Structure 1
Amino acid sequence: MHTATTFAPMPDDQGFFGPYGGQLVPPHLKQAMDDINVAYAQITQRQDFQQELAELFADYVGRPSPIFHAKRLSAQLGGAQIHLKREDLNHTGAHKINHCLGEALLAKFMGKKKVIAETGAGQHGVALATACALVGIPCEIHMGQVDIAKEHPNVTKMRILGCKLVAVTRGAATLKEAVDSAFEEYLTNPSDYLYAIGSVVGPHPFPMMVRDFQSIIGREAREQFQAKHGRLPDFVAACVGGGSNAIGMFTAFLNDASVQLVGVEPAGEGVDKPGRHAATLSEGKPGAIHGMQCYVLENADGTPAAVHSIASGLDYPGVGPQHSYLKDLGRVQYQSVTDQECLHAFMTLSRVEGIIPALESAHAVAWAMRTAPTLGADQHILVNLSGRGDKDADYVAKILNL
């Protein structure tokens, strides 16, 4: 169990979380990153910004999201009680809207002419297109062709919301390629564009900024759980791809030694099958990708390895630098769940509790389902249900012949 350590402040002024993070970018881009960092520091000190964001969270997103006690699921499994932080109930159906509103307001504050982003499952794309429509700024989303086919409902929503959708066909045509493509477009004019990174990844200040916007999840959850149960949960679990929903949930609990934090990665078809999983923290090693130092799944020649997950939003060979550091410190345990376990959790939660989760979130549910029977009935697992499964319903129905 974790010993008492204070985890604030992270990162340092160079954007490092221990040895991870930083700004591995060309000199002309460093200036653009520093400008974003300065503007972010300015905007977060402004009362009008904080008030506008708080009002949007309440009246537009629908925060606070509730915590639901999954009583039937808990009873069926035996053992620990499972509770769900319902980020799936947010406007646009996931946690992504939390940081997209912040990034869109930041772009407006900086006078940017276009916001660019990548998306995997399309949740970040839909949330950013929504936020850009709200503040009145053009939006361009890069998405892998494979994910466009898989996540058709989100593609339709992005087009309705008025964003320009760029289909990426190179390589595996999934999330990593979408990041590469979006970054190249951003490099053509970093002074007029803002690259709104969709997770706690990339060069400083993005891992910090996205975490700060997402940390409302954990702050709410900690307060809600304590108010309802007079105690903190024993376990807090969340899925990890890049890691935004997890870091948003974990941040409020980092100094609570009694709370075990668990990040759940995609084991895909098995962590013993290179290229067929995306369990970066479990199977990767320290390296560099997309402007940051972090754990990376690499080929023998040092290039990023092919990755796979049934959940498009977890399909990434890197991971947030703060997660990398928390792994090394032992504060968070990173475990993995296979595609099959994920599908089973997706269907079980749907049929036992009437909640269809995103395939990403179903990884965390699967870990809770695996773990609950090994614990006592007086123990509590709080799962961040980061998104809803509308986008995945047709895809899952096809796989399972429903």
Structure 2
Amino acid sequence: MDNSLVSDNHGGIVAAAGMREPSGTGRFGDYGGQFVPESLVPACVELDREFRQAWADPRFRQQLERLLAVYAGRPTAMTPAWRLSAELGITLLLKREDLAHTGSHKINNVLGQALLARRMGKTRLIAETGAGQHGVATATAAALLGMSATVFMGERDIERQALNVFRMGMLGAEVVPVGSGSRTLKDACNEAMRHWVGAVDEAHYCIGSVMGPHPYPWMVREFQRVIGDEARAQCAAELTAGTPDYVVACVGGGSNAAGTFAGFVDTPARLIGVEAEGGAAMTFGANGVLHGYRSKFLQDEHGQVREAHSISAGLDYPGVGPEHAHLADLGRARYVTVSDEEVLDAVNRLCRAEGIFCALESAHALAWVLRAAGSAELPTGSTVMLTLSGRGDKDMPALMEAS
């Protein structure tokens, strides 16, 4: 990866060549890699080779672009948040991934991986899911392409996200409850990877974020890059300066943030990733290995991975994608935290000010903007582009319980 840097006029740094592919060993600086059982090494090597070939094939790219346009509904809108902008003394633009088919950014990555899996001769998709949006997107793509889907989901998340569980069943997917550990996203990842070991010949593991063994963090970021590329062009048309002062997105594993940041990493925009306070691997984590890659993870004094907490099932993960850890080391992106209470307030304020009901995950990004606006962190008069990663229908039971 080209790590050459240049100074910007905000006192920050910019990766001159942008977010490129990782090193030959699948590393972003000190992070990433391929820490998998020996039985999965050939599958990872095959996936790396096949993705490179497909991504260089104009026919594959055209097929994916057409599906994103006529099926997923891209490009998604860039919506000026007029009332919130006036209240906060900033210019706030919302990149509306909540308007994509299935209700979130997850469809971008899943359509890419499903097409790649079919190209590789696979007949089944395996997935993990927390909030259920990745599971719904995987089930959707499987139905579209005539494949079967098996989705692993923690029992606690099944309770929290009953609507999405029902949607997956309607789409023909098998939802497998995971009762081990914290019964959330981390444990669903564990079981999905174990299942993949025994089904690798027929099945593709469709990882939902910029995590996992190489090439997943890079591949998922490239499939999500469409968010940042669209947003950059839309900001150029909307803003006098062409690019925003701040680009903000929520971070669990971090796929919507990675895709968003990829469109702005070579501009002066400040990149802000917002984590859940109870799952803030970038703030409270340490270097470690989990789910096939090295990054920052919440750990106890013995190096054991700690349970994460978030009101949003999609951010209830104890680590962060390796490229995010690398961007933080470079000083190119900054990672902050917000509390559950701030998130609930952000959902309500966006609903009442703009008539937009966003997902709890997305509300983390907005919560930081609401808190920071007018301070030295986010000065009055700043322009902000914020990615709304998904819509909030799935969170209605949690919101009703919290009210």
Q: If the length of structure 1 is used for normalisation, what is the TM-score?
A: 0.95
> Would you say 1:23 and 2:34 are equivalent positions?
yes
Query: Paired residues, what number?
Result: 389
- Is structure 2 residue 286 aligned with structure 1 residue 285? yes
Structure 1's unaligned 5+ residue stretches are 268-276
Give SS of 2:373's match. helix
1:8 and 1:356, CA in 2 relative to 1: closer, same or farther beyond 3 A?
A: closer
State which of 133, 137, 153 in structure 2 corresponds to 1:127.
Answer: 137
Alignment map for 1:47-196 (pairs within 5 Å): 47-77=58-88, 79-196=89-206
Q: Contact 2:19–2:262 (CA<8 Å) still a contact in 1?
A: no
CA RMSD of aligned residues (A): 1.1
SS at match of 2:204: strand
CA shift, 1:27, in A, is 2.1
What do the CA deviations read for 1:142-167 (whole angstroms, capped 9, x no partner)?
A: 00011111111111110000001001
User: Quick one: distance in 2 between partners of 1:363 and 1:4?
Assistant: 25
2-structure distance, mates of 1:297, 1:190: 30
Aligned equivalent of 2:355: 354
| Alpha-carbon distance in 1 for matches of 2:19, 2:169 | 40
Shift of 1:392: 0.2
1:399 to 391, 397, 402: 402
Q: Secondary structure at the match of 2:103?
A: coil
**Distance verdict in 2 for CA 1:229–1:339, change over 3 Å:** same
Tell me which moved more, 374-383 or 102-111.
374-383
What's the counterpart of residue 7 of structure 2? Answer: none
Tell me which amino acid in the other structure corresponds to 1:385.
L
User: Could you tell me which of 253, 257, 260 is aligned with 2:264?
Assistant: 253
Cα displacement (A) at 1:10: 3.0
Displacement of 1:370 in angstroms is 1.3
Task: Tell me the SS of whatever aligns to 1:139.
Answer: strand
Q: CA deviation at 1:82?
A: 1.3
**CA contact 1:81–1:377 (8 Å) conserved in 2:** no
**Cα offset, 1:362, TM superposition:** 0.2
Query: What is the deviation of 1:13?
Result: 1.7
Structure-2 residue corresponding to 1:274: none
Deviation of 1:28 (Å): 2.1
Paired position in structure 1 for 2:329? 328
Name the SS for the 1:188 alignment partner: helix
Q: TM-score, normalised by structure 2?
A: 0.95
Q: Which residue of the other structure, out of 14, 18, 21, is the alignment partner of 2:25?
A: 14
How far 1:8 sits from its partner (Å)?
Answer: 4.5
SS in 2 for 1:349: helix
The separation in 1 between residues aligned to 2:35 and 2:142, in whole angstroms, is 28
For the residues of structure 2 that align with 1:378 and 1:398, how far apart are their CA atoms? Answer: 37
374-383 or 138-147, which moves further after superposition?
Answer: 374-383
Decide which moves more: 27-36 or 331-340.
Answer: 27-36
Distance 1:23 1:122 in 2: 26
Report the counterpart of residue 33 of structure 1 in structure 2.
44
Identity fraction in percent: 47
**In 2, Cα distance between the equivalents of 1:95 and 1:54?**
15
Cα distance in 1 for residues equivalent to 2:109 and 2:393:
21
Deviation track 1:24-58 (CA, whole Å, cap 9, x = no partner) reads: 11222111100011111111122221111111111
CA contact (8 A) 1:81 1:372 kept: no
